[in-house]
Chains A and B, each alone.
Chain A
């Protein structure tokens, strides 16, 4: 599997190492070179400095051919923007955006991007551990299953160019 990861924080670096060790092809992007210090010496994938919301940077990183692309920077909005760039212009296999604001996480799932919310994940883990009812919110807000054709994208008003490329 070819995986592109944007954001070499704790989560990004951990996933990069695990996927690399499992034999997948991994490319990780971060805007700061220093972030790559988190990667272990044993990491055999590629590390590229650049703005991972920039279409050109993503394209050069081979994101268009990626099976999975993960947006894991510390900025919700950067992740959201990157995931929409990926979905509408690069069209990789699957993309996920980390969105820690549950309101935005849910709203953007409705707009057609899969979002992962650390806030609900941590809250539910703690609530469950101390024997209280969970939040009732998911950790992964999955976009609606595309219906016939390109249903998920038609939720957003910006769907026309993407739909046109569908061919």
Chain B
């Protein structure tokens, strides 16, 4: 397998070394000459000290016969362009990009990057699993001041046993859905909240304390 790795940071360095050691043909592109020389000293002359974003250099590194191009620089826009150039200009069958800003993931996918690795998302996922259940999670901003919020209901939440429509929230806030047993449910007249439910609410971010009080309860000392 012939792999072109672009970006000689820690990820690119170890990736290149592992691939070379397991017998693959690999070229690493690193535009910083000093860094490129340092890596060459350590793993041999498979480093091209050129910017992999430049179409001409990507070609010189052999992109037109690469089986895989992996873009692991620290900049999302560079990783996107490297993969798109590889795919569309050099017909590389498989492209893999590191994405740092999780919000860019759908864009990368829509724009044809084959595989997306998101260290931020992975670490976030691990942390969120450890977050105490009484925390509110900010799912996404909806517009300038609006946010989509998730509250996981624990035993003792004032919302337990109630219909979401009866919960008092400031004007302009709404409970929009309940996620239970891995399924999303709309709010009906007979919906009764239970411990473990994940309540999805939306409202202006200044009302977050009110939403917290209504769904989580008073959280002392945390």
Contact = CB atoms under 8 A, between A and B. Distances in A.
Contacts of A111: 84, 88
B107 A104 contact: no
Interface string A153-167: 000111011100000
Nearest to A73: B77
Contact of A76 (B53, B56, B76): B53
A139 interface: no
Given A77-B75, A77-B81, A78-B77, A84 B107 contact: yes
Given A77-B75, A101-B55, A107-B89, A85 B81 contact: no
Contact of B81 (A81, A89, A162): A81
B79 to A, nearest CB: 9
Nearest to A84: B111
A66 B111 CA distance: 22
A64 B56 CA distance: 34
Nearest to A53: B77
Interface string B56-93: 10000000000000000001111011001101110000
A104 B55 contact: yes
Contact of B141 (A56, A89, A107): A56
Given A56-B141, A101-B54, A157 B112 contact: yes
A85 B103 CA distance: 12
Contacts of A76: 53, 81
Contacts of A108: 84
Grouping DSSP codes into helix (H, G, I), strand (E, B) and loop, the A interface class, with mixed when no group exceeds half, is helix
Interface size class of A (residues with CB under 8 A): 20 to 34
A160 B109 CA distance: 11
Nearest to B76: A81
Interface in A105-131: 107-108, 110-111
B56 A103 contact: yes
B92 to A, nearest CB: 12
Contacts of A158: 109-112
A107 B88 contact: yes
30 contacts: A55-B103, A55-B107, A56-B103, A59-B143, A76-B53, A77-B75, A77-B78, A81-B77, A81-B81, A81-B107, A84-B111, A88-B110, A88-B111, A101-B53, A101-B55, A101-B56, A103-B56, A104-B54, A104-B81, A107-B55, A107-B88, A110-B88, A111-B84, A111-B88, A156-B88, A156-B112, A158-B109, A158-B111, A158-B112, A162-B110
Given A53-B77, A76-B53, 8 more contacts: A60-B143, A60-B144, A77-B78, A101-B55, A104-B53, A104-B54, A107-B89, A160-B110
